[in-house]
Structure 1
């Protein structure tokens, strides 16, 4: 069977996990042929662990232009994703980018335009889209089983991180390095799932706390209130400073309610649309008949490998992508909009002003100075650990 020759740019924690999975044959349709990193220590690790047939590069431009790869996985600091992806598309390569798609809408939009012009397959590592509970809720919403949306609430504050985590890399916990905090890093998956299920809100109001629980300059505690065209509302709460935290979704519609928590989707369906029932019932405190269903998460989750296999199948067999790279901009629109809302202390219509966001971001980067120089280097090499799965 034909295999896609895969190159990886960036073999830190996440890139290493992907490299191991592909090299060990866990991703049918993909063959690891090259890796790139500016850290000589990581290249030394690759030399001893990935075998002599994997080419090593310290400059990604050489890797993408020497004909050793058909596709590239980008696992570098966030701000580099769009420019590297654009270079890869220009070189005629397929691209799978780690999340987030970037740190600002303007450059991500340019990346999407380059992908469209290239005609190549473009995916993003939204591994949480493979979770069957999220996928089932999305189906229920799209099928109209729950009726018109009233409210969506997601408390996902089980992204706990210690100060040692933020001290483990030069780029972590800074506007210059990560381009933001919990929204752009940990909860970016959740922002994607939010809009994937409900669609994009029309406007939002956000409240962010910066360095609230840690010695960092970016946000580690956020509450977002969103409104939709039909006047439905959404509340999104996230943090890296609460332990053990909660991961709970509650979707309320006119025909039913769904709750996802602790690996279970609980479904409450009415025998009549509540909006109709409200005005035909002659009782002051009526009760509707409710039909209850329950779905449990089955088996171990390995969403990263599922996304990698799906990416290969899209190239080899023209199968639809579970997570098209073009859709990475949606969560970023919410994220950038939330920052502007907090900084300006006002409601923000979506999508927000791209240039206004870049101006605000630059102000914060300039006031922050250079990326921190004192940090604790981590030599750990991860496979797909529990912290990268959907955790309940």
Structure 2
């Protein structure tokens, strides 16, 4: 195989974006050969903008059975990610799925098992992992430069949305159509980066505001407290109802503090670990010597095209994936735990109780404004942003 023939399932907002950079040849050794969508107007858009070499289909089954694709990119509403991926693996196709991996971990675990059984390359569109800021943060933590983690704190509130945004699609911001609010739509990247750099927490206590600022049934504000295995703690604060918003990620370790904000990574580096200084210092009010360092960041964020190129390289050359699809379950574990904690008004351990979460989600779906069908041929395949 000298190139990878790619089909895109769902050409709404995100799917059309992927289609455009692929059709422009921005991913080496990749060829866009097919797209599908149930909306005739989207297929007409494809014919007008993607060139005559791209075939259009009105359903995913026909695209996957066409023989003109080696892999598929799945860019449809959240609930359909796992079932479509499982079908693709069964047909011997490689898969790159949009975030989030799904709505509930039980469903995503089935997708991961199908991927492992197929032996095909399975990636997820965690494009934020291509950002050199977070790559450097991960390097500093994994190398021990920051020391043992003590505290993590991410305030990510620059997701301001109006009611008109939520009114733009009947499935949007409903339990049946989208499966959640800010945690499932806006925050999957941050939840992934949080665990990718700092590791998974062991338990969560979350407080969610459901329709606090908007006329919606899902969460538009979350404040969550987590605990890690080593005793470290963390806080995650997010909302779509606050302006102006903040995006500040602060990580404290035994050897200092790192803050990512405004596109910069600042490291307050201690010359002596805080734990050692606490034990040995003679002055009760002194502090260890600290240097503020603005860490130089090299490289540039390659975003969606970068993740796609990495997926293609993995198919052709076995290159390790920057964002393996199997890891999509990690951030979802955290968001499922946050939802379940708010629903039960209690602490929730990670891994989450999958059966309890699923049963409580079904109750939410029963009372949802949006009536969902399980037949993906009749789903609105508009992108999920």
TM interval, shorter chain, is: over 0.9
1:272-323 superposed Cα distances (whole Å, 9 cap, x missing partner): 1111110110001112111332135567644111111111111111111110
**1:157-172 correspondence to structure 2 within 5 Å:** 157-172=157-172
Indicate the residue corresponding to 2:325 in structure 1: 325
Cα distance in 1, alignment partners of residues 122 and 22 from structure 2: 18
Inter-partner Cα distance in structure 2 for 1:121 and 1:105: 20
Show the 5 A alignment for 1:1-392: 2-295=2-295, 301-371=301-371
Distance in 2, matches of 1:219 and 1:121, equals: 34
Deviates more, 1:29-38 or 1:360-369: 360-369
Separation in 2, partners of 1:169, 1:45: 19
How far, CA to CA, are the matches of 1:338 and 1:199 in structure 2? 16
In 2, the alpha carbon distance for the partners of 1:169 and 1:369 equals 12
Superposed displacement of residue 53, structure 1:
1.2
Alpha-carbon distance in structure 1 between the residues aligned to 2:369 and 2:273: 56
Specify the SS of the correspondent of 1:184: helix
For 1:304, what is the secondary structure of its paired residue? helix
Residues 12-58 of structure 1: per-residue CA shift (max 9 Å, x gap): 00000000010011111211000010111100111111111111111
1:106 & 1:13 partners in 2: Cα distance?
27
Deviation at 1:357, TM superposition (A): 0.7
Per mean C-alpha deviation after superposition, the further-off stretch among 26-35 and 292-301 is: 292-301
User: Residues of 2 paired with 1:208 and 1:349: CA distance?
Assistant: 17
The match for 1:378 is none
* Cα pair 2:174 2:369 within 8 Å, conserved: no
Q: Provide the secondary structure at the position in 2 that maps to 1:238.
A: strand
Structure 2: distance between partners of 1:274 and 1:69: 56
C-alpha displacement of 1:176: 0.7
Gapped regions of structure 1 (runs ≥ 5): 373-380, 383-387
SS of the equivalent of 2:346 reads: coil
d(CA) in 1 for partners of 2:108 and 2:233? 27
1:371 deviates by 4.2
**TM-score using structure 2 length:** 0.95
Q: Output the CA distance in 2 between the equivalents of 1:301 and 1:242.
A: 27
5+ residue gaps, structure 2, are 373-381
**Does the 8 A contact of 2:109 with 2:329 survive in 1?**
yes
Q: Distance in 1 between matches of 2:302 and 2:132?
A: 11
| Range 44-53 or range 203-212, more displaced | 44-53
- More divergent stretch after superposition (286-295 vs 20-29): 286-295
DSSP-derived class of the 2:282 partner: coil
Distance 2:91 2:300 in 1: 37
Higher relative contact order (CA 8 A, sep 6+): 2
Q: Deviations over 1:175-231 (max 9, x none)?
A: 011100000110111000000011100101000001111111100000110001111
Q: Is the Cα–Cα contact under 8 Å of residues 133 and 296 in structure 1 kept in the other structure?
A: no
Aligned equivalents of 2:96, 2:211: Cα separation in 1: 32
Which residue matches 1:375?
Answer: none
TM-score by length of 1: 0.93
Q: Say whether the 8 Å CA contact 1:174–1:371 is kept in structure 2.
A: no
Cα root mean square deviation, aligned: 1.6
User: Matched residues in 2 for 1:129 and 1:305: separation?
Assistant: 12
Native 8 Å contact 2:267 2:293 kept in 1 = yes
Work out whether residues 265 and 294 of structure 1, in 8 Å CA contact, stay in contact via their aligned partners in 2: yes
Instruction: Determine the C-alpha separation between the residues in 2 that align with 1:370 and 1:281.
Output: 62
CA contact (8 A) 1:263 1:296 kept: no
Q: Structure 1 residue 329: deviation in Å?
A: 0.1
Decide whether aligned partners of structure 1 residues 214 and 300 sit closer, same or farther in structure 2, where only a CA change above 3 A counts: farther
